Amino acid sequence: MINFQANIDLIGKSAPFLRSQLSEVSGGFLCIQMSKSGIPAAMVNHHWIHSAYDPQKEAERWAVQQLKNCRPGEVLLIFGVGLLYHVEALKRHLSPDQRVLVVVGNLNELRDCLSVRSLSEWGEEVHWVWGTTSEVVSQITQIAKCVRVLSYDPAASLHRALYEEVRQGLREEMAKHVSGRLHIMVVGPIYGGSLPIAGYVVRALEAMGHRISWVDHSLHAPGYQQIDGIHDVRLRQTVQHKFSETLGIISLAYVAEDPPDLVLGMAQAPLSMAVLDQLRRKKILTAMWFVENFRHLTYWQQMAAGYDFWFVMQKEPCLEAMTRAGAPHVSYLPLAADPTIHKPLVVSGAEKRELGADVSFLGAGYKNRRRLLTGLVGQEWSFKLWGNEWNDPGLLSDVLQRGGARIDSETAVKIFNSTAVNVNLHSYIGEGLDPQGDSVNPRTFELASCGAFQVIDTRTLLPELFDESMMGIFTRPEDLVSTVRKFSQEPELRVSMAEQSRKRVLGLHTYEHRMQTLLSEIGVTYPDRLGSILQGDRQAQSLSESCGDCPELLPILQQFQDHERVELVDLAEAIRKKGPEAILKREELLILMMDEYRQEKRDFL
């Protein structure tokens, strides 16, 4: 017979506050059913959260799979409770001193479990975490520095929002304590909207102190564009594919020459599945920041399984679609601004005359923009239209500036600062507003960072980024003109709202913020790789403190600054600087031998 009181007494040894609360709840969250093997299983809303046939065998398979990535010294943090078969199976494979933390998502769920399962053989070695998100994160970080998150998805999915908040809290906590520096290779596209964003990302990562290798494929854009002169469509596509494959091999060569900790590809980076497979075989982590609308550009369907991490600017259904296509890890990461570029400016008189207007729009000539922006022509304000792809502009021809030439970032910032009301109308292939409009474009953040006022069409993800005190928001196509008119007559309100939007960007929405989130997410997922480096474990001081069993290494490590990152190649280089006549110690010879072996294994190509 299961002794519920004995179970909660056991839990109370590590979590006394949880013990008292469990005594006050009645359960009823899980529907307990007997499995075919004769032991309890559970259902929620007619869905099994353990095998209906053999929960223990299923749990054993889960535990073996999880342990493939676990490393000694890590604290294992488990999302998902259910009937805890998975935790019991995991504990059987671990040494008694390896700590396991279980995040409790619902007290009634745990109460149901404790009423049908006994924890007597293993539960005392588990630390139970319960409370608000901030309390849970605080408990975890007080216990451990190096945490590996393991998710038992059938049970974790019951409290998905809670566990995501905990992950986010751990990311934010890691970002506060980052001291280590990474080597990150950023691979950009040949051309397109993500190209300038790649430049902002490089600047942000360098400002954060990381070592960056920038693979700038825009240098090859002229050659790629010449392929457009091939008239046969199939032949042209074949040549373009081969061209992109060649650029992928070039990227691989850079990796082989100076292997990074992470390869970060921007949308449309020419990294093929073959290249990504090679990087994975060499244990180089890869990530893609897909700053595109997943509904419009769908090449991600063939690439999803290639990258270790996907970061996307849309939530559901994008996250689910990416996961279904094979992406191992997908996270929401909205766009941002670069305050070193997107900033308030005092524009000269001549530039103000050319670039300034009461109302302006900057962007490409999508169908909905051609339709809606004509309403701004011939009104009581001056209106200027900037950007390319405005062939046959029709009624907009008189306001189109510079003959529809592409506008660079520097000029765009001057336009933003010279305009009273900047219209920010998201692109759509129809005539009105996108009925599935969710992602927020980069111009939203860039205008706000400039302290420029904007009128913007509503987006489902906009309220969590900016609110109506920061910009003029309209929800129907027919409201564009009236919204512009309203704010054109209220200059003081415009200034106040623009100031609020700039404060929001500087506080939350810069590319440094985004890169902190991206790296922390990867660090939480791979605590033994990027996580340990970000926490400073590869710095000379940390390495010196951890080599108690090998004091012979101390003199070598003491050649470096305490906060300097030290790798095998750095140790070998320091030893080689002694010169060919130097008499080397045994450990120095071993380091040189390992470095020679490392160089021989650089067979990326």
- Average pLDDT rounded to a whole number, residues 317-321: 96
Q: Is residue 11 part of a domain?
A: yes
Q: Are residues 148 and 193 in the same domain?
A: no
Are both 164 and 196 inside the same structural domain? no
Q: Provide the pLDDT for residue 544.
A: 81
Taking the C-alpha atoms of residue 168 and residue 148, their distance in angstroms, rounded to an integer, is: 14
CB of 217 closer than 8 Å to CB of 190: yes
Residues 532 and 605: their CA atoms lie apart, in Å, by: 29
- For residue 464, being part of any structural domain is answered with yes
DSSP state letters, 422-482: EEE----SSSS--TT-----HHHHHHHHTT--EEEE--TTSTTT--TTTSEEE-SGGGHHH
Task: Give the residue from 176, 204, 238 where a domain finishes.
Answer: 176
Cβ atoms of 521 and 531 within 8 Å: the answer is: no
Question: What's the first-to-final CA gap in the chain, in angstroms?
Answer: 62
pLDDT given at position 536: 77
Burial annotation 85-101 (CB, 10 A radius, 16+ → b, else e) = bbbbbbbeebeeebbbb
Q: How confident is the model at residue 601 (pLDDT cuts 50, 70, 90)?
A: low
The alpha carbon of 296 is separated from its chain's Cα centroid by a whole number of angstroms, namely 21
- Is 534 contained in some domain? no
pLDDT tens digits, one per residue of 358-386? 999 999 999 999 999 999 999 999 999 99
Residue 343 lies in a domain: no
pLDDT confidence of residue 539: 80
Q: Where does the pLDDT of residue 316 fall: very low under 50, low under 70, confident under 90, or very high at 90 and above?
A: very high
Q: How many secondary structure helices (H) and strands (E) does the chain include?
A: 26, 18
List pLDDT tens digits, range 424-452.
999 999 999 999 999 999 999 999 999 99
Q: What is d(CA 203, CA 25) in angstroms, rounded to the nearest whole number?
A: 53
**Relative orientation angle of helices 409-418 and 442-449, to the nearest 10 degrees:** 60
Query: What is the average pLDDT score of the chain?
Result: 92
Q: Which amino acid would we find at residue 327?
A: A
Specify the pLDDT at position 174. 81
Q: Are residues 187 and 163 in the same domain?
A: no
φ, ψ of residue 68 to 5 degrees: the values are -60, -30
Domain count for the chain = 4
Q: Are residues 38 and 144 in the same domain?
A: yes
Beta bridge partners of residue 331, listed in sequence order: 311
pLDDT computed for residue 344 by the predictor: 97
Helix (H) or strand (E) holding 369: helix 367-372
Q: What is the pTM of this model?
A: 0.85
**Model confidence at 541, in pLDDT bands (50, 70, 90)?**
confident
Q: Among the three residues 131, 161, 176, which one is the final residue of a domain in this structure?
A: 176
Same domain, 227 and 286: yes
In a domain, 533, yes or no: no
Cβ-Cβ contacts under 8 Å for 400 (sequence gap 6 or more)? 385, 390, 393
Contact 434, 426 (CB under 8 A): yes
Q: Are residues 200 and 166 in the same domain?
A: no
Nearest 5°: the CA angle 121, 126, 131 is 135
pLDDT above 60 (res 592): yes
* 15-64: pLDDT as tens digits: 888 988 998 999 999 999 999 999 999 999 999 999 999 999 999 999 99
Q: What tokens appear for 244 in the block? A: 């992109």
3-class SS at 380? coil
Task: Please tell me whether residues 454 and 489 are part of one structural domain.
Answer: yes
Tokens at residue 383, please? 């209106």
* 64/149 same-domain check: yes
Q: What is the DSSP letter of 258?
A: S
The answer on pLDDT for 605 being more than 60 is: no
Question: Which residues face 539 on adjacent strands?
Answer: 565
92-96, 404-408, 463-467, 497-501: least confident range: 92-96
Q: Is residue 475, in this structure, part of any structural domain at all? A: yes
Residue predicted with more confidence, 185 or 552: 185
DSSP state of 158: G
537 pLDDT more than 80: no
Alpha-carbon distance of 143 to 529, in angstroms, equals 20
Decide if 377 contacts 365 (C-beta within 8 A). Answer: no
Q: Each residue of 358-382: b (16+ CB within 10 Å) or e? A: bbbbbbebbebbbebbebbeeeebe
Distance (Å, whole) CA 188 – CA 286: 13
Lowest mean pLDDT among 189-193, 263-267, 309-313: 189-193
What pLDDT score does 124 carry?
86
Exposed, middle or buried by CB within 10 Å (0-12, 13-18, 19+), for 299?
A: exposed
Residues of the domain holding 490 = 349-509
Do 384 and 306 have their domain in common?
no
pLDDT on residue 528? 82
CATH number at residue 145: 3.40.50
Of 75, 115, 81, the C-alpha closest to 98 is 75
Q: Is the residue at 527 inside a domain?
A: no
The rounded distance, in Å, linking the Cα atoms of 7 and 10 is 5
CB atoms within 10 A of CB 445: 27
